[in-house]
Amino acid sequence: MPLLVVQIVDSGGVGAGGLQNSSQGTLDLAVNAVGHMPGPRVKVERDIAADLPDVTVDPDRIVQVLVNLLSNAMKFSPAGASVRVAARAERGGILCSVSDRGPGMTAEERDRLFQPFVQLAGGAKVGGTGLGLVITRHIMEQHGGTITVASTPGKGSEFSIWIP
């Protein structure tokens, strides 16, 4: 089954893996998965706090979220650039952010970002379906978490997820 179809089917609910206590291992799985993806080579910098609390998640879905955010950051970053993934304890959960030095977005573009099948102007050059962030937001909502984005044109973007 094509990956897009699997993602759409899987986004319908918490996966077969069920909910588990997880933190550091889930982040490592996502970063390692992205390290094997084709595309422009960028360095992934990690700033992961040692004292992350365990959170109850479906690890497969959270890895899907993080891989989507990291792969987007890699696609929009120039070759040789760095993408930063950071995680720390916050409000009894985990705040994880993925930052890039890509083209960034305007406020108008950010407002459209989580709409189905929307690709921003630069997105057509790097491919995709316009569903990744929609699915990501849905998964975060299923976990009782949030996803936010901060971005400045010409300076890059930072996507943050909070997992309770």
Query: Which residue ranges form the domains of the chain, and what is each CATH number?
Result: 3-163 (3.30.565.10)
**Amino acid letter, residue 124:** A
Question: In the prediction, which pLDDT does 121 show?
Answer: 61
d(CA 105, CA 84): 18
Question: In the prediction, which pLDDT does 147 show?
Answer: 97
Pick from 34, 59, 57, 60: which is nearest to 45 by CA? 34
d(CA 42, CA 100): 10
Instruction: Please return the burial class of 33, using the count of CB atoms within 10 Å of its CB with bins 0-12, 13-18 and 19+.
Output: middle
d(CA 113, CA 95): 20
Question: In the prediction, which pLDDT does 3 show?
Answer: 41
Question: In the prediction, which pLDDT does 63 show?
Answer: 86
* Segments in the chain below pLDDT 70: 1-40, 120-127
User: Which runs of consecutive H residues, i.e. helices, occur in the chain?
Assistant: 3-10, 24-35, 59-76, 107-112, 123-126, 132-142
